[in-house]
Amino acid sequence: MQHRNNYTEIEHFLADESFRLWVCFKDDQQHWEEWTLENSSRAKLVEEARLWLLAMKVPNDDLATDDIQHALEATWGKIERTEENKKQKPVLKLLRKKWFNGVAAVLILSLLTGWLYNQTNSDDNSALTYSELINENEEGLVEQTNNSDKPQIITLSDGSSVLLQPNSKLSYPKIFVGNERKVYLSGEGFFEISKDPKKPFFVFANEIVTKVVGTSFKIKAYANQPNVEVVVRTGKVKVRSNELIANPKDQLIVLLPNQALRFVRKNLSFNKITDITQDESLSRSTSNIEQLGFEFTDIPVAQIFKTIEQAYLVKIDFPQTKLKDCYLTTSLSDQPLPEKLKIICKSLGNNTSYEMNGNQISIISDGCN
């Protein structure tokens, strides 16, 4: 490790895997702490590099020079967006110019330290991008967090439904206004979106943005996992990276049913999977709601309710005696859960209705027509 004695720029530290392991995971097999304390001027440079690394949240694998440059640019972008309404903005631009010319590191360090303090004191430091997205949104948002060990159903104001997995959170407006519908996900959720061509639906999931009109799909975007995944069940979605990520190409990828996209955080790349059955990882993680069919031909309504229970992991109470001889023929494949229930109730007739409280559903009916 004697080559580190020659490090004179922050980029040198960022490109050193052992340094990243020490900063991010407290793995100090190369005795970075001891080496840093040997020299006061060296300690100053090490601290600057450490702060840059924490701000960038770079992966702990090999970094190319271009990756470092992109990461530095991304960090500056985050700082400037955070401070855009403050009077220091001209100073920021000056510092940025000087930084990339190798000057003014001390001033940058003080600015970055203050910015990092604000970021690290946010509600969820493990998912910084999610927090930034929430902070940038000017609408009043409701945040639903699933701290249980079972999926939870969330019904949005437009009738769309989200099956939110454990250790996940979703932020959304109480009522969608304007010509767009936007929600924010950290973790995993299965979305069934109500069709409205005039108001496209956007899911911001940490590094990626998924745009749909009306379809069903899964997004898996846990902050502590190496990849972000989008899997389409029905309809069509478009996926791109969000503006907080330094990806100059800004790819837009279209996904059709049974296709998927994997965003690799290590190198900020997109991998499109045209057949999810051929991907072992995706096949293993397929849930009931992605496998079960919702095409019913002369099927007892009790069996339809059972299928819905299995798919959404909900409990449906209904008057079994009154509905025991009721059969339905219907297609529910491309409908959110509330719409599925409305269609069933309307098909049964006799003023049949439903009430939904979390994962508990009650059917009120006097029988079928």
Helix, strand, or coil (residue 167): coil
- What value does the mean pLDDT take over residues 17-29? 77
Torsion angle (degrees, nearest 10) of CA 121, 82, 51, 73? 150
DSSP 148: S
pLDDT for residue 167 is more than 60: yes
CA distance 216 to 236: 9
CA distance 159 to 342: 11
Pick the range with the lowest mean pLDDT from 42-51, 176-185, 189-198, 341-350: 42-51
pLDDT for residue 254 is more than 60: yes
Q: Where are the alpha helices (DSSP H) in 183-273?
A: none
Task: Kindly report the average pLDDT of the chain as a whole number.
Answer: 78
Q: Does domain 130-288 fall into CATH 2.60.120.200? A: no
**Element at 81 (helix H, strand E):** helix 65-82
Same fold, 130-288 and 292-364: no
Residue 293 — φ and ψ, nearest 5°?
Answer: -95, 155
- What value does the mean pLDDT take over residues 158-165? 92
CA distance 262 to 226: 10
CATH of 292-364 among 3.30.390.10, 3.55.50.30, 1.10.540.10, 3.40.50.300: 3.55.50.30
Residue 83 — φ and ψ, nearest 5°?
Answer: -100, 10
Report the Cα–Cα distance between both ends of the chain, in Å, rounded: 81
Closest CA to 313 of 148, 166, 146, 163: 163
- Tell me, what's the pLDDT at 284? 74
Q: What DSSP letter does each residue of 21-46 carry, written as one string? A: HHHHH---TT-HHHHHHT-HHHHHHH
User: If pLDDT is split at 50, 70 and 90, which confidence band does 105 have?
Assistant: very low
Closest CA to 211 of 228, 188, 226, 232: 232
**HSE-CB of 88 using CA atoms within 13 angstroms:** 15
pLDDT for residue 12 is more than 50: yes
- What value does the mean pLDDT take over residues 136-161? 86
Summarised one tens digit per residue, pLDDT across range 282-329 is: 877 777 677 777 889 999 999 999 999 988 888 999 999 999 999 999
Q: Which residues pair with 187 in a beta bridge?
A: 221
User: If pLDDT is split at 50, 70 and 90, which confidence band does 85 have?
Assistant: very low
Pick the range with the lowest mean pLDDT from 13-22, 76-85, 343-352: 76-85
- Tell me, what's the pLDDT at 69? 55
Amino acid at 101: N
User: If pLDDT is split at 50, 70 and 90, which confidence band does 250 have?
Assistant: low
The reply to whether the predicted model has a pTM over 0.85 is no
Residue-range domain boundaries for the chain:
2-121, 130-288, 292-364
CA distance 305 to 44: 65
260-264 and 269-273: which strand pairing? antiparallel
- Tell me, what's the pLDDT at 287? 72
